[in-house]
Structure formats: C-alpha cells, structure tokens
Amino acid sequence: MISEIQTQVYAGRVKDKETLMLSSSGGAFTVLSDFFLEKGDAVVANVYNYQTNTSEFRSIQNKSERDAARGSKYMQSKPGEIFCEAYQWLMLNPERKLLFVGMGCQADGFRKYAEMRNIRNRVFIVDIICHGSPSPKLWKEYTESLEKRKGKITYLTFKDKRNGWKSPTAFVKINGKEVSISDYVRLFYNRCALRPSCHECPYTTTERRTDLTIGDFWHIEETIPKFYDPNGNSLFLIHTDRGEQLFNSIKDDLDYCQSDTKQCWQKNLESPTPVSEHRQEFWKDYQREGIEFIMRKYGRLHFKTRVKNKIVKIILVAGGGGITSDCISCYADYSERRAA
C-alpha cells in the first residue's frame, strides 16, 4: 500500500563534483539510479539513439548504460514497448524492484499501467518537471539537415556546464568538432514547436501522484543563497511515503536542505507553458517552406532582442545574478511574482 503525503520539498545536489558537471541539474537522476543499480534492480530512463536521432526509453541494468541516459534531451521521447518490457523484467526477477524516470505525462502513464498490472508496489516512479517537448519530427528533420551539410552526429548535449548551470551550452559533435545547436534551443524556448498537449499539461503542479518529482531548483541563488552552487541544483518534491523512504535512502550521497513550495516556485510548477502568438504562422511557414527556412526565421535572435538580452544580462550579472538569455523570460516572470 502506497500512501500519498503532504508534498515535502528539498534542494539537493550530488556530492561528487564530476557527476554534478555531467548532470543537467544537480545530479538527482544519478544518485537515484545508483541506489537501484547497486542492488541489482533495474532503471528505466531515456537514452539518445544516435542511429535514428531519436530519444527513447531503455531498461538499464548497469552504470555505463545509465551514464548514457544522463542529460536533458529537448524533444518528445518514445516510450515504445517500455511499459511491457518493465513488466516482463519484473516477472522474470521476482525479488527485484524497478525505478522509472520520465516526464510527468509518461510517469503518470506508467503509474496507471503499474496499478493495472499489480506491480505498483515493486516500482518507484520519478517524474521530471517539464517546460514542454517539441515535436520529435522537427528534431529529426533538423538533424537530417545538419548531417546532410556537415556529417554524422556522434555526441549531443543541451546542457554542457562549462559556463555554469545557468548558462548551458548546447552542441552536437560532428567529425570531432562542436557544432552549436543554439538555434534549435531558441525554438524550444520560443514556444512555437511544443506539442499541443503540452499547452494543456495537467502535471504542472507541485501535487503529483508519482513518488518523487525532480527538476531544476531555479532562483535558488535568491531563495536559499547559502545553498546555491553555480554548477547545478536539483529540486526534489516528495509525494508518497515510498518517495520519502527513497529520499532517506539516497540523502547521504547528497548535499541537501529542506525547502518549501514557495521557495521552489517556477512557472512550470503552476501552469502549462502558454501557446506562442506566432505558433500558427510558424507551422504554416514550416509546411510551406520546410525546416531550414523556419530555423532561419525562428531560430535566430533578431538584432533588437540581442541588444535587449545583452542589457538585461549586464544588469543581472552586475547584480550578481549571472543569468542567460534562456532564463531571461523565466526570470522576468519570477521577479514579477516576487514583486506582487
């Protein structure tokens, strides 16, 4: 029997500094998955497939496979047959447990499946805070266009931390060289390409039915400045007694502190990402002109925006914020809310 509890909130970060640098946020996924893999349990998570340029769920049994699942991939991932595979693995390994990690919609789908197949007591379900996922077709065409011009993609990161957690660098590697994909990241943040269902997401809340939610602890430099680390900070929202048990089992591998739903506020914990006013025009352009045209039109920063962002950045850096253009709209929302 799993009981829902009043949501508990923690800021946390993996103690191991190398792992922190390799993780998108504060390394919550690595710490959680280590706990299962070290006992011989399984982890279901999302791995990028370089053959097909898609992001897909895999059942993972060792740390090197897990390491390949690290990193946020900004496209909708494919569940494939993973629910059935997880069930079959549990049937073949009756003494074992399984950790499922996916976006809110995928994790809640797995929760319902687990309840239906009577395996809920054998699985731990962790979901990830989400801004929304762009169409996987768009990403596929984007990579096809890149590969046609430059060569095969052998490495992908959306969140390299060389400039810190708040200024992630996004690139692919082709023929050993880094090729920026910041135009695609702009498309991700400008809200034109997200799937329609993401704009009506019911999981943009701190109350969920998974065991635990993880994400970025945005604005922590203001809300818990003593705990802030420029190299990454995770947010943990605990929803069930088993989630609490799980957090207690991993907390020795974390630096952590207790928090609350006010300190950890971010817009995707309150409401779905709103539809862009340019969405219709964007898809019309895409249908008429294709991927390269829309990348030129929507993936580039206009001169005025570049100047505005530069000014905002200078002001924020001078004020000790050190925030990037990706975070600027998010930061503006946050400041408005604090002022209100």
Q: Tell me: does residue 204 bind ligand FAD (CB under 6 A).
A: no
DSSP state of 194: B
Half-sphere exposure of 256 (CA within 13 A, CB side): 23
User: Closest distance between ligand FAD and the C-beta of residue 76, in Å?
Assistant: 7
- Given candidates 111, 131, 161, 166, which one binds ligand FAD under the rule CB under 6 A? 131
Q: Tell me: does residue 54 bind ligand FAD (CB under 6 A).
A: no
- Closer to ligand FAD by CB, 128 or 192: give it: 128
3-class DSSP assignment, residue 273: coil
| Token output for 183 | 């135009």
- List, in order, residues 6 or more apart from 145 with CB less than 8 Å away: 291, 292, 295
Q: Tell me: does residue 219 bind ligand FAD (CB under 6 A).
A: no
Half-sphere exposure of 85 (CA within 13 A, CB side): 15
- Closer to ligand FAD by CB, 173 or 281: give it: 173
Rounded CA separation 194/136 (Å): 10
- Closer to ligand FAD by CB, 46 or 240: give it: 46
| Token output for 303 | 């001169």
CA dihedral 121, 201, 71, 261 (to 10 degrees): -80
- Given candidates 11, 34, 53, 73, which one binds ligand FAD under the rule CB under 6 A? 73
Rg value, the chain, Cα: 20
Q: Tell me: does residue 246 bind ligand FAD (CB under 6 A).
A: no
Alpha carbon 124 to its chain centroid, in Å, reads 18
Contact positions with ligand FAD (CB under 6 A) in 138-197: none
- Given candidates 215, 243, 272, 299, which one binds ligand FAD under the rule CB under 6 A? 215
Residue type (1 letter), 265:
W
| Token output for 38 | 């070290």
User: How many residues of this chain bind ligand FAD (CB under 6 A)?
Assistant: 33
- Closer to ligand FAD by CB, 284 or 335: give it: 335
Q: Looking at 66-74, 115-123, 139-147, 298-306, which segment touches ligand FAD (CB under 6 A)?
A: 66-74
- Given candidates 101, 114, 125, 323, which one binds ligand FAD under the rule CB under 6 A? 101
Q: Tell me: does residue 234 bind ligand FAD (CB under 6 A).
A: yes
Q: Tell me: does residue 53 bind ligand FAD (CB under 6 A).
A: no
Q: Looking at 19-27, 80-88, 302-310, 319-327, which segment touches ligand FAD (CB under 6 A)?
A: 19-27
Rounded CA separation 162/302 (Å): 26
- Closer to ligand FAD by CB, 107 or 114: give it: 107
DSSP letters, 103-162, are EHHHHHHHHHHHHHTT-GGGEEEEEE--S--B-HHHHHHHHHHHHHHH--EEEEEEEE-T
- Closer to ligand FAD by CB, 151 or 206: give it: 206
User: Closest distance between ligand FAD and the C-beta of residue 175, in Å?
Assistant: 25
Q: Tell me: does residue 221 bind ligand FAD (CB under 6 A).
A: no
Q: Tell me: does residue 216 bind ligand FAD (CB under 6 A).
A: yes
- Closer to ligand FAD by CB, 151 or 224: give it: 224
- φ, ψ for residue 288 (rounded to 5)? -80, -40
User: Closest distance between ligand FAD and the C-beta of residue 288, in Å?
Assistant: 27
DSSP letters, 299-315, are SSPPHHHHHHHHHHHHH
Rounded CA separation 27/232 (Å): 8
Interacting residue ranges for ligand FAD, rule: CB under 6 A: 23-30, 45-46, 55, 69-75, 77, 101-103, 128-131, 133, 214-216, 234, 266, 268
